[in-house]
Amino acid sequence: MKPADVVEFFDRLAAANPDPRGELQFINAYTLLVAVVLSAQATDASVNRATEPLFKIADTPTKMLKLGEKKLKEYVRTIGLYNTKAKNIIRLSQILIDQYGSEVPADRDILQTLPGVGRKTANVVLNIVFRHPTMAVDTHIFRVCNRTGLAPGSTPDKVEQKLEKVVPEDRKLNAHHWLILHGRYICKARKPDCPVCILRDLCRYKAKTMAEVDDANMVTPSPARPRQARTALRRARRRGK
Ligand code: SF4
């Protein structure tokens, strides 16, 4: 994507949502870390449902250890991989107490040494809590960056490196929120909402979806959903008889 288009890309996202926020609920740096660990391969909504009562009684590493792994599992059992995640949360809580004075370190390398914390989790915590201009490339960002041509790459790490190069400095802090929200609600995996997308003319995705049926006489097959478009066309023709 041309640099001028990248600027326009983020100008539009910023105009549509000047103050983007993540959707995970948290109280402090520690509860955000726990929420992000729980969110791996789970929706933010499912994590929020579990953490709302959990954080009322365990919002620090000490309180989490006091709660214990068995009871923690009862709170998070609706979340995928909860056994492993609960173990990791107990272990990382102990490490935070023993080595970091119960504080969450503002350092990616240290964060990544904690159980269950990978680069993406560390980047989310650094960005949201410590306001570092990090790019936490999740499945949504990976898809949007590749489809649009903003920062194509075969792995999340490559996309992250590309984003760091191309995103304008003044957009770096919010870029990951804008891209996640765009991927979650507009540029969806199965059926992107290209007809209403504010980035449509900048986006290089070849299989953009189109408005399916506006009226019986204006039916345009969608390259991304040819079978559905053909069905819509047949129905429209029947209505026209
Ligand atoms: S035009 Fe379609 S594919 Fe491109 S960013 Fe928008 S929703 Fe995604």
State yes or no: pLDDT of 205 exceeds 70.
yes
106 falls within a domain: yes
Q: Of 12, 7, 4, which is closest to residue 178 (Cα–Cα)?
A: 12
Round to whole Å and give the CA distance between 158 and 163: 9
Whether 188 is a known active-site residue: answer no
* CA distance between the termini of the chain: 46
Pocket of ligand 1 (CB under 6 A): 147-148, 186-187, 192-194, 197, 199-200, 203, 205, 208
CATH number at residue 178: 1.10.340.30
Whether 191 is a known active-site residue: answer no
156 falls within a domain: yes
Round to whole Å and give the CA distance between 167 and 14: 13
Buried b (16+ CB within 10 A) or exposed e, 53-62: ebbeebbbbe
pLDDT tens string 6-57: 999 999 999 999 999 989 999 999 999 999 999 998 999 999 999 999 999 9
Counting ligand 1 atoms within 8 A of each CB, the residue from 180, 187, 204 with the most, and so the one to mutate, is 187
205 falls within a domain: no
Give the lowest-confidence range in 27-31, 214-218, 228-232: 228-232
- At 222 the pLDDT is 42
206 falls within a domain: no
More confident of the two residues 150 and 224: 150
92 falls within a domain: yes
Give this prediction's pTM: 0.83
Number of domains comprising the chain: 1
**Host domain of residue 183:** 1-193
Tokens representing 149? 């041509």
Catalytic residue among 11, 56, 66, 120: 120
